[in-house]
Structure 1
Amino acid sequence: MVQTGIAAAPGIVIGKAVVRQEKQLVVERKKIDSGETARETDRFRHAVGLAASELVGIKEKVRQELSEEEARIFEAHLLVLQDPEFVGAIEFLINQELLNAEAALTDVRDQYVQLFASMDNEYMRERASDLQDVSNRLLKKLLGVKDDSAMEDGEPVVLVVHDLTPSDTAQLDPARIKAFVTNVGGRTSHSAIMARSLEIPAVVGLSDITERVTSGTLVIVDGLEGTVHIDPDEAVIATYEAKKQAYEQQKALWAKLVHEKTVTRDGYHVELVANIGSPHDASQAMENGAEGIGLFRTEFLYMGKDRFPTEEEQFAAYKAIAQTMGSERPVIIRTLDIGGDKELPYLPLPKEQNPFLGYRAIRMCLDRADLFKTQLRAILRASEYGDIKIMYPMIATIGELRKANEFLAECKEELQREGISYRQELEVGIMIEVPAAVMIADQLAREVDFFSIGTNDLIQYTMAADRMNEHVSHLYDPFHPAVLRMIHHVIKAAAQEGKWVGMCGEMAGEPHAIPILLGLGLQEFSMSATSILQARHLLAQLDAGQLRELAMHVLTLESGAEIKAYVKEHVLDVLQR
C-alpha cells in the first residue's frame, strides 16, 4: 500500500514503524474555595517556572546542534509564558472564576488556539501551534505527567505519529529515529524545518497514517517524492534499496564540491549563495560551500525580544557575519522586513484586513526614521569588515527607493562627522517582489547596483493566491508562464543598464527551475544552505548557452505543469542517462 503526502525532508529510509499514539491529558474541572486561590496561583506559577527552565534547555540544545534560527522558535515559546495577556487570563479565571489551574489553562488555551488557527495570517496560524505546544507542556507540569518526548533506546525506527510539535522534533535522536511520518503538517511547519536541519527524512500531511500502520510493520519513507510504502513486497524493497544507494552516492558526490566554484559546463560562472537568519547560520553556509550570503533576514535580530536591538547589537551581528564569510564573499543584508506574516510584540502595528498588502517592510521603515537609520548606521559600520551590500525589501515605486537612499546618505554624513569609517563603494540593491517593481524595472535599474528577485512574495502577488490557503494554493506556481515572463523582464531590464540580478526565493534552489533561470541569464542563486551542493552539481552539468533557447521556448508554453514536464524531459532526464 502506498500513501502520498508532502515531502518535508529529503532522504529514503526502510525500517520498522513505531506508532506513537497521543496520550490524552485528562483534566478534572472543579471549583476551588476563595481561600485556595493563592495556593492555586502559586501552583500555576511554579509550573510556568518549570516549563520555562525546560524550554531554555531545549533552546540552547537547538542553538548548538542546529542554528540560531531554529532556536528562535523556542524563544517564541518562552515569550508565550511571559505574555501578560495569556498568563493573566489564566490567573483571572483562578482568582475570579475560582477554577482550578488545569481547567483555567485549558479554557484559555482553547480560546486562543481556536482564534489563531482560524486566521488567514500564516504567522498567527503558527502561533496557534506554539500556544498548543506551550500549553501542553504547562499542563503536564500541573498534572505531574512525565514528558516522554524522548524514545527509549533500541533499534533505529520510523516514527509514525499524528503530529510532532517543535519541542518533540528538537528532542529526536537521529541515531534512533531514522525518519518520521505524520497525519498533519506542511513543508513550512517548524517541525519540517527542523527535520531538514537534523537531516531526518520526513513525509507529513498523510491524513490517517497512524490508522494504517501498526508498530513493527516494515515501511519505506521516501522524503524525496513524499510517499510512504506500507508492508512493501520484495520487489519494491529492492527498488528502494537501489534508489537509497543512488541518493547516498549523490550526496557523497555533492560533498566533494564544497570548496569548488560554481561553473557551468561551458565555463559560465554563477554565484551560489545562502539565505540565513543569524550570524550562526553563516558558519553553516560556509560548511555547505556557499560563495556568499544572498539574503540575511535581519528581522530575526528583532524577534524573540522585548525591545528593539541597539545599533551596537546590530553592528556586532553584521560584523560577525562579514568576518565569517571573509572579504571575498559578498554578504547582502536586507533591511527590516516586519509586517505581513512577521510581527513584533513590542511594535504595535495597525490591525489590517490584508496585512501582506499593508504597512510592512520598507513602507514602515520610511515612516520610522529612528528604527531605519539605526539599522543603516550599523550596516555601514560593519561594511568595513567585508563585502557587505544593502538591500531594501518591498520596493514598489521609485520614490520609495529614493527616500530610502536619502536616509542612507544622511547616515553616511553622520558617520563621517563622527569620524567613523565605512566601505565607500558599498553596493545598494532592492528586492523585486511586487509586480509594480517588475513593470518599472528599467527605471529602477538606473538607480540601483543590483536586483534580487524574491519569488515567494512575487508569485503570491502575481497570482493573487495565498500559498497557505488550501483552496487557492494550486495557483501558487513558480513555473506559471506569467511568473517566468516577469523574471525574464527583470533580467533584461537590468542587463540593459549593466546591472546584475540574483534570486533569493525558494525557487532559486528548485532543480526544475535552475535550468530555466540559468537560460534566462540569472547570475546569482540564493537558497537554503543545505541545497547549495545539489544545485552546484546540477549547474556543473548544464550548458548556459544551450539553455537560452530552452528558456525562450518555455516562455511560450501555457502552464506550469507543461513547463516542468518539458524541463524534465529535455534536461533532467537527459542528465540521468
Structure 2
Amino acid sequence: MQVGTGRSILNGIAIGKLKIYKKKDTVISAAEVADTAAEVARFEDARAKAIDQQTALYEKALAEAGEDIAEVFNIHAMMLDDDDFVDAIKEIINGQHKCAEYAVKTAGDNQAAVFAAMDDPYLQARSADVIDIAQAILDILQGVDNATLQGTEPSILVAEDLAPSETVRMDKSLLLGFITREGSSNSHTAILARSMNIPALIQCKVIQDDWDGKMAVVDGYNACVYVDPTPDLLKSLKKRQQEDQKKQALLQELKGKSNTTLDGKTINVFANIGGMSDVGAVQQNDADGVGLFRTEFVYLNCKDFPTEDYQFEAYKQVLESLAPRKVVVRTCDIGADKTVDYMKLDHEENPALGYRAIRICLTRKDFFKTQLRALLRASAYGNMSIMFPMITSLRELQDAKAVLDECRAELRAEGKKFDEKLEVGTMIETPAAVLIADELAEECDFFSIGTNDLTQYTCALDRQNAKLEPFFNPHHPAVLRAIKMTIDAGHRHGIWVGICGELGADTALTETFLRMGVDELSMNAKSVLPVRKIIRSIDLSKPSDK
C-alpha cells in the first residue's frame, strides 16, 4: 500500500480505480508559412468555435453547480474577444509568417506570463484562465478530442492539474473523485468540486504513472490517498462512506422542519444566490429564504450596461419564484475581483481596498439609480429587502438611502407600484462599520455581516492570495468579537442581524453564533439542512460544553 498526502477539498470518501488523465502531446511547427491569410482564417474559425464552447460550458456549469461557478466561462468567452489577445495572435501570424497554432501558443504563453508577474493575486490567477482559453483554441485547431481521456468506467482521476473547463466537461456519473499534483483550494476547479460534492485531493506530490488502474481511496477527512489499500483499511473506509451516505439521507428528512433549538429559539436559515439559476437549489434544500442575492452577476452576464427593464425582469423572476420567502438583495458589488470591461474601471494596485461596490454606486449616480429603480419595481412581486455593501461611514449609508428615496419619489410620480414598506439594511464587512454599528443601526432595518471581507480586512489577509492560506484563520478571536459587537449593536436598536459570509455554513460555529444572538444565517444552499440539523440539537438553556 502507498499513501499520498495533499490538501483536501471536501470531507468525504471516494473509492474506485485510479485513471491517469494525461493529455496527448501535440507538436507545433515553428516553420514559416506562405499563406498567412489562410492561417488567420483558421484562427478566427477556431476562436468562434471556442467562444461557442465556453458558452456551452457556462450552461452546463449553471445546471450542475450554479451561477457563481459558471461565471468563469462567461469570463473566458470575453477573454476570447479581447482585442489585445486577438491582435497579438494575428501579428505573430502576419509578422512572423507562423501557423495559427504557433501564434496562439506563443501569444497565450506571453499573456499568461504578464498576468503571473502582476502583484495582485487575483490577476495572477487569471494566468491559468489565459492558458485554458489558449488550449481550447489549440485543441480545435489540431482536432484534439479530450472527451475520451476520462475513460468509460467510474474512476478517480489523477492529473497534474485540472482546468475549470476540463472539470465541467467530465461525465459526473463516472467521476468518483480526483487527485492533482498542483492546484489551490481557492481555484475555480476546487470550488467546483465542493459545489458538486466530489472528494478531491490537491497538491499531492507523490503521483506516479504506475497508479493507473490501481484501486485507491481518497480520504478527504485525513487529506490523503491510499493506493492499493489493505483489505481491512478498505473495509473500514467503505463503512465510513456508507455512514456519510446515511447522513445525507437523514438530512432529507429535515425538510419542512423548523430551525428551532431544543429550548425553543428559532432562527432563519437562508441561502445565498447569484440569480434565477440558483432558485431551484433554494427550493430543493428547503431554505427559509435568500439572505444574499448577489446582483453583480446580472452585470457580469451582460456585454454592456443592463437596462432598467432588463434588471427588473431578472429580479422580478427571482422574487415571484420564491414568494412569500424573503429575498435580501445586495446592490451591485462590482470591483475588486469582479470586473466588467464596459465599466472601464482602472487597474488598481490594491483593488480590495479600492474603487468598488458602494463607492462606484455613489460616484456613478445614474448607474446606481438604474438598479435601484429596477429593484423597487420588482419589490411589488415578492418579499424583498435591500442592503448596501462595503459601507464604512454613516454618510455613505445616508447618501445611498437618499438615492433610494429619490427613486421612490420618481416611481410614485410615474404611477409605478413598489413595496412602500421594503426593508433597507447594510452589510457589515469592514472594521469601520463594526465600530460605528450603533450609529448605522439607527438608519437601518437590519444588518447582514459579510464574514469573508470582514475577516480579510480585520486580519489584513488578502483572501485571493493562495500564499496566505497558512495564516488564514476564519475563527480568529478578533473576527468573532467583531461579529458579537455587531449583533449587540443591532439588537440595542431593535433590528435583526444575520450572517451571509462563508462562516454562516461553518457548523463548528453554529452554536457560537446562536449564543451570540444571531437572528439569521445565510449560506450556500447545500449547507442549509446540515446547519438545520445542528440547530435542532442545541440547547441554549444549558451552558456550552465548548
**TM-score normalized by structure 2?**
0.96
Which secondary structure state, in structure 2, belongs to the residue aligned with residue 200 of structure 1? coil
Cα distance between partner residues in 2 of 1:261 and 1:209: 47
Q: Residue 351 of structure 2 is aligned with which of 347, 355, 377?
A: 355
User: Is 259-268 or 521-530 further displaced after alignment?
Assistant: 259-268
Number of the residue aligned with 2:450: 454
Number of the residue aligned with 1:171: 169
Spell out, residue by residue over 1:392-415, the C-alpha distance to the aligned partner (whole angstroms, 9 max, x if none). Answer: 000000000000000000000000
Cα distance between partner residues in 1 of 2:539 and 2:427: 28
User: Is 217-226 or 295-304 further displaced after alignment?
Assistant: 217-226
The answer to whether the 8 Å contact 2:6/2:223 transfers is yes
Which secondary structure state, in structure 1, belongs to the residue aligned with residue 401 of structure 2? helix
Cα distance between partner residues in 1 of 2:119 and 2:256: 43
Which secondary structure state, in structure 2, belongs to the residue aligned with residue 229 of structure 1? strand
The answer to whether the 8 Å contact 1:395/1:431 transfers is yes
Cα distance between partner residues in 1 of 2:32 and 2:203: 40
Letter in 2 for 1:544: L
Counterparts in 2 of 1:68 and 1:454: CA distance versus 1, 3 Å: closer
Number of the residue aligned with 1:321: 318
Counterparts in 2 of 1:438 and 1:301: CA distance versus 1, 3 Å: same
Number of the residue aligned with 2:500: 504
Which secondary structure state, in structure 1, belongs to the residue aligned with residue 166 of structure 2? helix
Q: Work out whether 1:305 is the aligned partner of 2:302.
A: yes
Q: Work out whether 1:371 is the aligned partner of 2:363.
A: no
The answer to whether the 8 Å contact 1:334/1:393 transfers is yes
Q: Work out whether 1:482 is the aligned partner of 2:478.
A: yes
Letter in 1 for 2:464: M
Q: Work out whether 1:24 is the aligned partner of 2:21.
A: no
Spell out, residue by residue over 1:152-187, the C-alpha distance to the aligned partner (whole angstroms, 9 max, x if none). Answer: 323x21111111111111122222121111122233
The answer to whether the 8 Å contact 1:182/1:209 transfers is no
Cα distance between partner residues in 1 of 2:70 and 2:469: 29
Counting matched residue pairs gives 545
Number of the residue aligned with 2:202: 204
Which secondary structure state, in structure 1, belongs to the residue aligned with residue 363 of structure 2? coil
Number of the residue aligned with 1:384: 380
Cα distance between partner residues in 1 of 2:150 and 2:386: 46
The answer to whether the 8 Å contact 1:336/1:361 transfers is yes
The answer to whether the 8 Å contact 1:58/1:74 transfers is yes
- CA apart distance, 1:388: 0.3
Q: Work out whether 1:89 is the aligned partner of 2:88.
A: yes
Spell out, residue by residue over 1:516-554, the C-alpha distance to the aligned partner (whole angstroms, 9 max, x if none). Answer: 1111111111110111111111111012333xx54xxxx
Q: Supply the RMSD in Å over aligned alpha carbons.
A: 1.8
Cα distance between partner residues in 2 of 1:70 and 1:283: 16
Spell out, residue by residue over 1:60-103, the C-alpha distance to the aligned partner (whole angstroms, 9 max, x if none). Answer: 33334443443322222211221111111111111123222112
Which secondary structure state, in structure 1, belongs to the residue aligned with residue 262 of structure 2? coil
- CA apart distance, 1:493: 0.8
Q: Residue 193 of structure 2 is aligned with which of 192, 195, 201?
A: 195
Counterparts in 2 of 1:170 and 1:149: CA distance versus 1, 3 Å: farther
Cα distance between partner residues in 2 of 1:90 and 1:284: 42
**TM-score normalized by structure 1?**
0.91
User: Is 537-546 or 263-272 further displaced after alignment?
Assistant: 537-546
Cα distance between partner residues in 1 of 2:210 and 2:237: 19
Q: Work out whether 1:60 is the aligned partner of 2:59.
A: yes
Letter in 2 for 1:313: Y
What's the % identity of the aligned pairs? 41
Spell out, residue by residue over 1:222-258, the C-alpha distance to the aligned partner (whole angstroms, 9 max, x if none). Answer: 2344332222222322221221111111111111112
Q: Residue 269 of structure 2 is aligned with which of 262, 267, 272?
A: 272
The answer to whether the 8 Å contact 2:46/2:140 transfers is yes
The answer to whether the 8 Å contact 1:121/1:341 transfers is no
The answer to whether the 8 Å contact 2:147/2:169 transfers is no
Cα distance between partner residues in 2 of 1:432 and 1:176: 43
- CA apart distance, 1:314: 1.0
Letter in 1 for 2:21: R
Which secondary structure state, in structure 2, belongs to the residue aligned with residue 111 of structure 1? helix
The answer to whether the 8 Å contact 2:8/2:201 transfers is yes
Counterparts in 2 of 1:3 and 1:119: CA distance versus 1, 3 Å: farther
Cα distance between partner residues in 1 of 2:128 and 2:269: 34
Cα distance between partner residues in 2 of 1:239 and 1:173: 28
The answer to whether the 8 Å contact 2:23/2:146 transfers is no
Counterparts in 2 of 1:465 and 1:389: CA distance versus 1, 3 Å: same
Instruction: Please list every run of 5 or more consecutive structure 1 residues that lacks an aligned counterpart in the other structure.
Output: 551-569, 572-577
The answer to whether the 8 Å contact 1:283/1:324 transfers is no
Number of the residue aligned with 2:14: 13
- CA apart distance, 1:273: 0.6
- CA apart distance, 1:432: 0.7
- CA apart distance, 1:122: 4.4
Letter in 2 for 1:108: A
Which secondary structure state, in structure 1, belongs to the residue aligned with residue 293 of structure 2? strand
- CA apart distance, 1:470: 4.2
The answer to whether the 8 Å contact 1:463/1:475 transfers is no
Letter in 1 for 2:333: D
Number of the residue aligned with 1:115: 114
Number of the residue aligned with 1:43: 42
Which secondary structure state, in structure 1, belongs to the residue aligned with residue 478 of structure 2? helix
Q: Work out whether 1:180 is the aligned partner of 2:178.
A: yes
Cα distance between partner residues in 2 of 1:276 and 1:413: 29
Which secondary structure state, in structure 1, belongs to the residue aligned with residue 452 of structure 2? helix
